[in-house]
Structures are given as structure tokens and as C-alpha cells.
Structure 1
């Protein structure tokens, strides 16, 4: 079941770094709303409430309800700035959503079946994640909270590419529109095991070569 996120905000008239610092001292986060058919709007949010939302993964790839006084509208989170030391949100950008306009959003990948994948269970391999999220294009009503990646049948040295991801109806991947079918996840042997195999192969080759030289000497 999808979550329903409500972002309660207030108008803010003051602009600039000084005004933003004052807001943060008051426990608020400055933000801006743009897009749609209206002009950009400067707002402020409760730092505490925003912090709670940001702990939920779905908040980042979900249609949100912005409540400003008696008015409500749908938005999505497009950018978030955090303090480099504390990690707390210090500014947010939201985009208005129009029902008939395509969205470009980053959606997280959820991986399952790694523990039973043949490449891991019997092949001794490890899972390497090349991507943890993908950019999708879709109408707001089709926006998925996440895309699931099933590894349960993945063999050693196998990989899953973007073109193999199961996409909901109405959702496309932006990278595939640019013919960039990159790998999402793969299973391979650990580096140490690969180096050990290479060393063993080199030793075997050297032994075979030495045996061949001895045979040649005996013939002479």
C-alpha cells in the first residue's frame, strides 16, 4: 500500500542567506516550489517534520501533497541539500506535478533473491551493485516507489542490464532512450579468488611448458 505524504509549509517573503539562517535557527528549512503553470514559490517547512519524512525511502520517489494554508497541490522532491557535517536538510527543491505532463524521477532499486542465486550459493561469487537507482520517465499516476530486481536465477559471471528490469506499465527508463543499456547488478568471484585462479593457471602453463621441454631433450 502506497504511503500518503503531506508536506505542510508556510510562505516566506525574506530571501538571502541571512533569512535562511534565521529560519534554520527557528527550526525551519527554506525551500522552493517550481514548475507547472505558476511562478516559483519560496516556502519554509518544519525541520522536524521534514526530517521524519526523509527517513522513509518512498518519500524521495513519491507524489507528495503540499499543504499551504487552505490550498493543496501535488509535488515531488527534486533536490535536497544537507549540512556537510550534521547531515540535516538545509534546503529543498520541489517540483509541481501536472497530471498530463511526463515526470523524470530517480527511483530506487530493490534487490531480492541474492542469497539463493546459483552464482552465490553454488558458484562462490559475490553480488556487485552497479546501480542503486534509475531515472524513469512516466506520468505522475504511473510513478513507481521502487523497481524490483530478481537475482534468484543469476549465475556466476552473469549480470542484469537495464533492458531486463521489469517496468510497470507506462514507465520507461531514460538511459534506454539513449541506447545506454548498462549493467545494474552482477555476480562474480571475489578478487582474491580470481587472482588465485590466475596464479594456478600460470603455474599449470609453466609446468606444461617445462614438461614439453624435457620431452624435447629426451628425443635429442
Structure 2
């Protein structure tokens, strides 16, 4: 998990969010357990890299002074015009409690399917799972390259580690392969 660590720092009082963003930082709030929310800042460059690498629903670690905690991006606020991240909310994920999370589904082999003249109709982009935070995957891969027209992928067809439980109904349709007329 070492490539999933974001360094954060306590936010100095008196600095506006706009001023912080101009200096290359993104304001953040950390919600953890029974303690009061903490105002933090994170490097804009590191945060954007982390979001590109893991997505907005992945879990990762934050390094806060000497302390390292597992968190999830609870909310990402973006500028409505530029779409740049302007603020984040971080939620602590205790390692001794099971958590519910939405995990993105990656469809592998879609190009191969399309080269055969078939179309993948995606019905779901995320799947809801439950498990201990450190055991949850950052995504679920589904290979679709050799599927035939009319074939359906349901939640029950998805492969997850034995320590992770899928919360969504098992008969929920994830994707269907179509043959355009």
C-alpha cells in the first residue's frame, strides 16, 4: 500500500482556501472515529496523481505527522468550470471493523469485443462490497473480450476475495453483449 500514501499537514489558521490552492495545496477535512474533524491540507499534485491512479472511491493511507491512517475519499468537490479538485473530505476506516464501499468495475477486453462488431452495454459501473478496509480491492476486473452476443454478466459472476462480501443482489445485471443490427 506504500504507493497509496498521501501526505497531509494541519491547516494553518488564517489562510483562505483560495490562498492555499494558489500555493499548490488542497484543503481537506478528516473525520475519524470519535474525535473532532481536523482541517488539513494536501499537495494538489500528489492528490491528483492519487485520484488518477486509484479513482475517487478507492481507499488509501494518509501520513499525518507521525501517524498513518487508512481513509476513503468521502467527498471530492470540484470547480464547476475547470473540474479541478478544490476540497476533499477524508473518512477514517478502522481496521478492526467491516465497512461498506462502492468499488469500480473495470471491463477488460472491450476493444477486442468491439473489433468483432459487438457492443458491451454496461448496466453497472460500481459494485457494493463489505469487508475489512485493508482487504478491499481498489477495483474488480471483468474480462469481456471473448463473450458472445446475448451473454450477460451478473453480480454472481464477479470474482472477489473470500474475505470480501458483495452486498448487491446476486442477480443484478452488470453488462450485456449486443450485436448491432
Is the shorter-chain TM-score for this pair beyond 0.5, marking a shared fold? Answer: yes
Q: Deviations over 1:159-209 (max 9, x none)?
A: 111122112112122322xx7x3211111122xx1xxxxxxxxxxxxxxxx
* Unmatched runs of 5 consecutive residues or more in structure 2: none
Bigger helix fraction = 1
**1:110: Cα distance to partner?**
2.0
Report the RMSD for the aligned CA atoms in angstroms.
2.6
What is the match of residue 182 of structure 1? Answer: 172
- Tell me, yes or no, if structure 1 residue 88 matches structure 2 residue 88: no
Equivalent pairs, count: 181
What is the match of residue 103 of structure 1? Answer: 99
Structure with larger Rg: 1
* Unmatched runs of 5 consecutive residues or more in structure 1: 194-220
Report the Cα distance in structure 2 between the residues aligned to 1:9 and 1:3, rounded to whole angstroms. Answer: 15
Answer yes or no: is the 8 Å Cα contact 1:8–1:68 preserved in 2.
yes
Q: Deviations over 1:8-35 (max 9, x none)?
A: 11212548xx822222222211111113
Report the Cα distance in structure 2 between the residues aligned to 1:189 and 1:14, rounded to whole angstroms. Answer: 59
Report the Cα distance in structure 2 between the residues aligned to 1:135 and 1:114, rounded to whole angstroms. Answer: 22
| Structural mapping, 1:16-165, within 5 Å | 19-57=16-54, 60-62=57-59, 64-114=60-110, 121=116, 124-165=117-158
Q: Deviations over 1:80-124 (max 9, x none)?
A: 11112222110111111211111222212122344666x984xx4
Bigger strand fraction = 2
Report the Cα distance in structure 1 between the residues aligned to 2:89 and 2:152, rounded to whole angstroms. Answer: 35
The verdict on how the C-alpha distance between 1:165 and 1:120 changes in structure 2, with shifts beyond 3 A counting, is farther
Report the Cα distance in structure 2 between the residues aligned to 1:12 and 1:149, rounded to whole angstroms. Answer: 41
User: TM-score, normalized by length of structure 2?
Assistant: 0.85
User: TM-score, normalized by length of structure 1?
Assistant: 0.71
| Structural mapping, 1:163-202, within 5 Å | 163-176=156-169, 181-190=171-180, 193=181
What is the match of residue 7 of structure 2? Answer: 8
